[in-house]
Structure 1
């Protein structure tokens, strides 16, 4: 089992940049978040997980892996639409996955090239695929490619965590970008802590946006 890699350098930098985040890091301690080291299966996994709960995603993924053992373009294309849909996903997602598999197998989409290009180009490349938006592309960069500087404005939990730590009732893009600049080049590590806060890791912190 692999986890997102960060260490003392990232923690020391983030603490030096922001006192409130430093206090959060001290309170929570080290965070382990699982990552997927197979890029193709990671894209498929993220397509399956769109707009459903994490539990539902895990259930569908477990069925798929148990049946197919390995998730590759050839195996998925051989599997076909009906069998893929029987694992519990939608027809639309099945078509997205098969379109992606076909493009990788034919070479139309060079998946390995993602490893060597900057974040913005990798996000744009992934977002050109059917069923992949900017947020999904950013999550693939963080949880598969382990890019160190991902801070997704499209992630509602990260927004919530930032509001909770800094007591903001709202978080417009301009303010969010100021935090991005503050935490760069280690935004991915900062993201782990904001996710943890949003998930209740510090019970006394509430979301100011929820108050009327």
Structure 2
């Protein structure tokens, strides 16, 4: 499954920003895989924080090979030290176990997130230890397929803006101006 967008969205962006429109024409359609399962997406994103994509996939594969279906029940069924042994830090393993326990107990209603606004999703997810604004925004993009999420914390986005608009740096004020243009 890929992030869905079509001609309507492309034309909107081209109309709003000439330079972005030229880049869209040059690059073409981008196919970005999404994970539609909220729980496994949160786990996958916690694992991937501050490590390479390759390292993230290695840890993820080890976890999946061991427990199969990634669910609150399956995560809670393994010990913390075993979770860490898949290649993640002790802190990440703790955060993952804590999150799984909160979902399993009903303390955190993950399915409710789909009903919330972007700001509310960030607030709810950020209430979980180990999840910050950037991780919440990535989950909204690559799991929930929210169309108007542009993350200031994402280095690839910032680098892309710097290249596209030929800026040495993108500060928060400039970023917000571009973000408003795209939304």
Runs of 4+ that moved beyond 2 A = none
The residue that corresponds to 1:156 in the other structure is 155
Hey, what's the Cα distance between the residues in 2 that align with 1:152 and 1:105? 29
The residue that corresponds to 2:123 in the other structure is 124
1:58-88 CA-partner distances (Å, limit 9, x unpaired): 0010111111110111111111112211111
The residue that corresponds to 2:55 in the other structure is 56
The residue that corresponds to 1:34 in the other structure is 33
- How far did 1:7 drift? 0.5
Q: Please, which moves more after superposition, 79-88 or 39-48? A: 79-88
Q: CA RMSD, aligned part only?
A: 0.7
Hey, what's the Cα distance between the residues in 2 that align with 1:120 and 1:65? 31
- How far did 1:180 drift? 0.8
Q: Please, which moves more after superposition, 158-167 or 81-90? A: 81-90
Query: What are structure 1's unaligned runs of at least 5 residues?
Result: 185-212
Q: What are the residue-to-residue correspondences of 1:3-152 with 2, within 5 Å?
A: 3-152=2-151
1:35-76 CA-partner distances (Å, limit 9, x unpaired): 001100000000111111000000010111111110111111
Hey, what's the Cα distance between the residues in 2 that align with 1:159 and 1:90? 27
Aligned residue pairs total 183
TM-score normalised per structure 2: 0.98
- How far did 1:182 drift? 0.5
- How far did 1:172 drift? 1.3
Hey, what's the Cα distance between the residues in 2 that align with 1:182 and 1:33? 22
Hey, what's the Cα distance between the residues in 2 that align with 1:85 and 1:7? 41
Hey, what's the Cα distance between the residues in 1 that align with 2:147 and 2:29? 16
Hey, what's the Cα distance between the residues in 2 that align with 1:84 and 1:146? 28
- How far did 1:171 drift? 1.1
Hey, what's the Cα distance between the residues in 2 that align with 1:86 and 1:172? 39
Q: What are the residue-to-residue correspondences of 1:161-180 with 2, within 5 Å?
A: 161-180=160-179
